[in-house]
Structure 1
Amino acid sequence: MDALIPAFIIAALAEMGDKSPWLAAILAARFGRAAPVVLGIVAAAALASIISAVAGALIQPLLTPNARLLFLAVALVFSGVTGFLALRRPDDLENWRIGAFATSFLGLFILQFGEGTQFLVAGLAANAKVPALAAAGATLGICAVTIPMALAGTALRDRLPIRAMRIIPAILFLVTGLWAAVSALRLI
């Protein structure tokens, strides 16, 4: 359980103001039914999280405990910094004619690897006793944020305080990442 809850929380915070929930809402509105979009979200989140956790597990034996903590610190700081950058509307994938599930799965999977969540999952997995729990927690965290947006649609997203939803986690990630970096470097 050492990585499940932290991965859930970190993934949910990282996804709150990001493009994946926005794309999910766009796709659900475009296809007019949420079920295939939700299944695509779950499949994309699971596959992206598994790949990231495997990467973290593969580098785990190569790094010392302090290096693993520093890797996680860099991921946290990276995610914190990106939270202050402007968020552009994701491509609505209108030219994709492969169906609701395939469009949702591939679109969200590709988008996941452009976001910091997967870097965070790799960092958590590298520090976990059971890296698979980092993948499970991250999948649940991504789904906990993205699925409700697919069900609610773009109208809800337009009413949410997206700027605050990006800045508050960004500050948390920066502070936590800097603290972890200082600890990993044994400066405290």
Structure 2
Amino acid sequence: MDALLSAFVAAGLAEWGDKTQLLVAALAARHARPWPILAGIALAASVHAAAAAFGGIVVHDWVTIRALTLLTALALLFAGGAGLFPRKAPKLLIGARCGAFLASFACFFVAEFGDKTQFLTFSIAARFDSFAFAAAGAVAGVLTAALPALLLGARLTAVVPVRTLRLGAAASFLLFGCILALNALILV
């Protein structure tokens, strides 16, 4: 259960103000069909979370608890550092003809590939040796962050203080990353 909650919170916070949340807002404004967009995002997020969590559980058996804790601290510091810089919505390179589901899946899959959410999911799965809970928590966190963008569309940045939330999440990641790194160095 620790992996589920950790992955949910980490993924949910990491996505606020990130390019993928802005991508969801752009997709919602273009297609105005929330269910196919949500389904495409859910599928892409599931594929990424499963791949990251699988990699994490493979690594779990190869390294010590100190190294796994440092890996998680590094993932948090990376997410915090990335959150300090503003993101612009990626351009939609797929035409409107391919449909909301396919456009959402393809755009989200490409935008999320190698993103901080994958790194966080990988490190949480490795730390807790939990494939299913880490992957499920990450998908739930991504979808929770995507819902406001999906419902508000282009009005997201006007209605929600995205910059403040992004900076707050970045500060939280940096703080918890430093604390976790210090705890890992103290472990015997």
Counterpart position of 1:100: 100
Aligned equivalents of 2:37, 2:157: Cα separation in 1: 17
Is the counterpart of residue 143 in structure 1 residue 143 in structure 2? yes
Pairwise CA distance, 1:144: 0.7
Aligned equivalents of 1:158, 1:91: Cα separation in 2: 19
Runs of 4 or more off by more than 3 Å in structure 1?
94-97
Is the contact between residue 94 and residue 103 of structure 2 (CA under 8 Å) also seen in structure 1? Answer: no
Counterpart position of 1:32: 32
> What secondary structure is seen at the aligned counterpart in 1 of 2:86?
coil
Counterpart position of 1:67: 67
TM (normalized to structure 2)?
Answer: 0.93
Aligned equivalents of 1:120, 1:156: Cα separation in 2: 25
Provide, for residues 79-107 of structure 1, a one-character-per-residue CA deviation record: whole Å limited to 9, x for no partner: 00011112122112354742211110111
Counterpart position of 1:126: 126
Aligned equivalents of 1:54, 1:94: Cα separation in 2: 29
Pairwise CA distance, 1:114: 4.3
Counterpart position of 2:17: 17
RMSD: 1.7
Structure 2 residue identity aligned to 1:146: A
Aligned equivalents of 1:102, 1:94: Cα separation in 2: 9
> What secondary structure is seen at the aligned counterpart in 2 of 1:126?
helix
Pairwise CA distance, 1:63: 0.7
Is the contact between residue 80 and residue 171 of structure 2 (CA under 8 Å) also seen in structure 1? Answer: yes
Aligned equivalents of 1:176, 1:137: Cα separation in 2: 19
Which of the pair is proportionally richer in helix? 2
Aligned equivalents of 1:40, 1:157: Cα separation in 2: 22
Is the contact between residue 21 and residue 145 of structure 1 (CA under 8 Å) also seen in structure 2? Answer: yes
Is the contact between residue 27 and residue 37 of structure 1 (CA under 8 Å) also seen in structure 2? Answer: yes
Counterpart position of 2:51: 51
**How many equivalent residue pairs?**
188
Structure 2 residue identity aligned to 1:75: A
Is the contact between residue 2 and residue 130 of structure 1 (CA under 8 Å) also seen in structure 2? Answer: no
Aligned equivalents of 1:127, 1:187: Cα separation in 2: 14
